[in-house]
Amino acid sequence: MKKILYIDGDGVGPELVAHARRVVDSLVKVEWVQGEAGYATFQKSGTSLPDETVQLAKSSDAILFCAVTTPPNIPDYRSAIVTLRKELDLYANLRPFHSLPNVPAPFPQLNFAIVRENTEGMYSGIEGQKGDRATATRVITKKGSERIARFAFEYARKNGLSKVTIVHKANVLRLTDGLFLNAARTVAAEYPSISCEDALVDSVAMRLVKSPQEFQVIVTTNLFGDILSDESSALIGGLGVAPSGNYGEKHALFEPVHGSAPKYAGRGIANPTGMLLSTAMLIEHLGEKSASEKLGAAIRKCYELGVKTADVGGNAKTGEMVEKIVSLL
Ligand code: NAI
Ligand code: MG
């Protein structure tokens, strides 16, 4: 039986992870193990990511995660999820954006994905301060750039897509993004049947608002991918509906794009869709493709029936939406 580590995290995390586990249990048999991480864990134990959680993650077949709170004002505090992605070398963050039925949105039927490099770039964790001057080191490597580009092209190939957009700022960040762009172009040359464009991140931010249907797969560095993916979620209904998978050579972790959404914590009104679509990605990763498709179809059907939370124009509570999805399975 496959072993799944689940991490409740903070804010809306515990409630959404509980719903997601129930959905998994109604589809496939798995063994659950619990790990701790996040701000509540830090307050209890002095660390946001205990070694034990990292070890459990390394010995699991997949990880189900929602979100953690990362307070900006504690010196030396490190985000548990950013650290876990690095510890497990989860270098590829795949974020599909697929329009849902019955959701107010500026464009119909969008279907594109952002592939975000997840272990280096602006989030390398190398910062310094001398008096009133602070710096961050943006690490870009050939290896890191090639493997994320290969992930993006492989994703396009497997899904029958015809275009990949390499997103960078190589006109200003000449060495770091120059290296990223060159490495990604070298990989692109291995995929002659997939067309490849490259574009500056600021213009892509504009095109996502103006004509997002131009994109199929966007591949980019860590910070740009973080920002463009929150922007992209707004095109399909907001952060409540966007899922993601974090993949490495050995491990995989599934989580919604959103954070701990503290304003919704404990109120039973958070949208479970991002969490449950991430759960569908986890189930697919376990090799249960038909169960995963069943879950995706049930979520879409739930929207067709108008059972949806307030953030996407409905009046269902989180629990009512999950109930409906389970009944449709
Ligand atoms: P956030 O993603 O938690 O929330 C931003 C806004 O998005 C919310 O105010 C809400 O309007 C909407 N939203 C988010 N999740 C939703 C849901 N399930 N249903 C409906 N609407 C939803 O980002 P924010 O407020 O910037 O950060 C809150 C905390 O989360 C911070 O401590 C931050 O560090 C952390 N965070 C953690 C992440 C992770 O663990 N992967 C990712 C992003 C933020
Ligand atoms: Mg983010």
Catalytic residue among 2, 86, 163, 230: 230
Cα 16 to averaged position of ligand 1 atoms, centre (Å): 13
| Catalytic site includes residue 29 | no
pLDDT digits (tens, 9 = 90+) for 150-192: 999 999 999 999 999 999 999 999 999 999 999 999 999 999 9
Ranges in the chain annotated CATH 3.40.718.10: 1-98+238-329, 106-235
pLDDT digits (tens, 9 = 90+) for 43-61: 999 999 999 999 999 999 9
Mean per-residue pLDDT of the chain:
97
pLDDT of residue 130: 97
pLDDT of residue 75: 85
| Catalytic site includes residue 226 | yes
Number of Cβ within a 10 Å radius of residue 163: 15
Q: What mean pLDDT is predicted for residues 9-22?
A: 98
Q: Which of 280, 243, 206 is nearest to 26 (CA)?
A: 280
Which is more confident, 125 or 161? 161
Integer Cα distance of 101 and 10 in angstroms: 30
Q: What mean pLDDT is predicted for residues 21-41?
A: 97
Verify whether ligand 1 is closer than 6 Å to residue 261 (CB atom).
Answer: yes
Q: What is the number of the ligand closest to the CA of 263?
A: 1
The percent of residues in the chain predicted with pLDDT above 70, rounded, is 100
For residue 287, what pLDDT band results from cuts at 50, 70 and 90?
very high
Q: What mean pLDDT is predicted for residues 226-240?
A: 96
Buried/exposed code over 210-231 (b: 16+ C-beta within 10 A; e: otherwise) = eebeebbbbbbbbbbbbebbbb
Token pair listed for 155: 């994703």
CATH of the structural domain 1-98+238-329, one choice from 3.40.50.970, 3.40.50.12780, 3.30.390.30, 3.40.718.10: 3.40.718.10
Integer Cα distance of 307 and 170 in angstroms: 45
Top CATH class, 106-235: alpha beta
Cα 2 to averaged position of ligand 2 atoms, centre (Å): 29
CA of 261, closest atom in ligand 1: 3
